[in-house]
Structure 1
Amino acid sequence: MSTVYQATASAPVNIAVIKYWGKRDTKLILPTNSSLSVTLDQDHLRSTTTSRADPSFVKDTLWLNGKEDEIKPGGRLATCITELKRLRQATVENEDPTAPKLSTYKVHIASYNNFPTAAGLASSASGFAALVASLAQLYALPVSPSTLSIIARQGSGSACRSLYGGFVAWQEGVHPDGSDSLAIQVAPQSHWPNIHALICVVSDDKKGTSSTSGMQLTVDTSPLLQHRIKAVVPQRMKDISKAILEKDFDTFARITMADSNQFHAVALDTEPPIFYMNDVSRAIIAVVVEYNRLSLANGQGYKAAYTYDAGPNAVIYAEEKNIKEIIQLVVSFFPQREGAFKDNLGVFPPGAEVNAQATVPAGFNVGVALKREVGAVKGLIHTRVGDGPRALGEEEALLGPEGTPKILA
């Protein structure tokens, strides 16, 4: 029986605290500024990818969530696959004449996201990171995650940050070929494991203005972006990295919220203006701001930090000790439909109805926001900082014996 060359990997979602917005090279996906993110726990949010190389395959083929996706020549997927084949040849086959010539075989790839695609949760980041991790495993590449991040970046910019767990910086780099525009780990998950995140899913529809087109419009038309790139981000990168290393949540929270605000200010400063947040997004900000005001007045420092990517969904970062109180506060203003809260980490007793847990801290000014109808926030996902890509066993493979997906859409 012929050898089956196959590997399965999963990769995490990451949510930036210093935002990437704008490219200086759209083909290589080189950013106008450095960025920094928190990798979230794959036990809750992940992309899983199985790759197989076989001499009988007639073309490179990808299935996303059970549906065949076109691999356009010269497109982002094709670029990642080609680069990984090139690395296989250079680092393995050229070094060891007995190594199977996997770089010459076509590949079948199946990928699955366990969360809605294009919902403002970074599916492209975890997706391209899982693709790269899976092929790197298949090809037994003897290279670092930073090297792989250069390839993942050419699929989706933020994907480069999902090649590591913990707290990750994407360094913008200076070289025109992109060889120094890569991800490095600022600190592993184990350094500050009690950083938790509450994702408030305001909308799971596709975005009005895609990130790709939106950010280039900003580069072309926003004077504020130029100020951000030159005067603001470099210092924030240093300050937030220091805050992470010192586990200084106050500084981490202040910078995270300020950078989210500035990213959305830059979107508004674009011509024509881009609006990613909606009234519910802004109400969540008002609730977090009042919660921090009360906490600061009580001498307890910042307890929560909101951040928004290119969409209306909020991610609230907090230390583990405060997350229960934050969930109780959020559901006071944004009650949940049954089953819409994913209590992944067992904050409440098993079977507890989350709306019954709603409570507002003493001294909280409830006039800062209106209580919304059930489902204004469509779901709450409680998660935490997590690890980088994982190599998975054969039992989790997405491809069947014939090299086609086990489950088709």
Structure 2
Amino acid sequence: MSFSQLGLSSPVQKALKHRGFTQPTPIQKEVIPLVLAKHDIIVRAETGSGKSASFILPILELWLKQVGEGKAKIKVLVLTPTRELTIQIADAFSTFGVFLDRKPKVLSIIGGESIGNQLYDIQQGCDILVATSGRLLDIVTKKQMNLSHLDFFVLDEADRMLDLGFSEELDLILKELPLKRQNLLFSATYPPKMQLIASKITKDPLHISSSGKEVAVQSILQRAILVNRENRGPLLRYLLGSEKWEQALVFMANRRSADNIAQKFKKYGFLADSLHGDLLQEERIFTLERFRAKKINILFATDIAARGLDIDGISCVVNFDLPRSPLDYIHRIGRTGRAGRDGVAVSFIGHEDKEHFSLIEKRSGVKLEREQIAGFELSGETPIKEQGKEPIKGKGKSKKDKARELAAKASVN
């Protein structure tokens, strides 16, 4: 099936061709016709499935048919959990709308930037607003934004928003929206709290589910390499040379580790940098643009880069430190092997990681052969864990997770 068979117009098809997209993904085949038919939908789709384009393309089609003359009014509102995803989706609306007879005015509204400038841009008129919920709420409370003309409300990465205590913010935002609108919800998972959120937004949606495991695993070679923690840095340097990875995204456990190892790799002559939540927004955008432009070959990042970031050409994802959640493993490796390209995902496994990685394999539906690289073999013995000591990562909830759940319950009550 081609994009033309999905009911997309020539200008949108031209933009797709210009970006190198030739065939729709399975989720796009299902979602695009339903959005064009003006259904409310709830889509469960993993990273790498092409879900962003599945709502951006048909919304552009419908927007063009409904847009009136005069000053632009906000017709589309998209909420996302992160600043990076907000900017990326806003850019995608502009990119896919570049050949339309009337190009949409698209704004991204995020924290870390001047709220005064954002208010000014909104008041000058915009058609499509993409925002993080916190900053949108800041602007809504100032009563200087009109959302009464809204036709489309999109909630992207909705399950991630639940983690951030989103329910109360959503209630306040929904009060500003017209009751008559088309609602589109996208989520990688669908926990019970997600059902509560969905019931607030839409009453009779169509449900679509696409397993992201198949999407991620299909084009990605997954590898598990046994190595002692102190040898992970030297092993990574060796692999970067021997495997000829042009661009590598390396996931670290925390911000300090990402900064420290990036500095070490720079000293070894690598084009490396770090990405994490402690950076100013301008620094995060600058770093990502340099990575996209291949001015950086190795990006050491926390899980801020695990969801939503769409960067073409990432040769390899390396789990220098394993993710806490098995679901985050799928999100991480989904950064490579995108748009039909092949990719590689490598996980470093030490004695302390064996049980946790087995749990990740079980939850992700994979079983990987353990490799050893000559000169970097895993040595020593697996420490015997005393009864009642720290549980395996991922089996229990962290204090932060428990606090977020309590906050979410309090906001509901």
- TM-score by structure 2 length? 0.29
- TM-score by structure 1 length? 0.29
Higher RCO, 1 or 2 (CA under 8 Å, sep at least 6)? 1
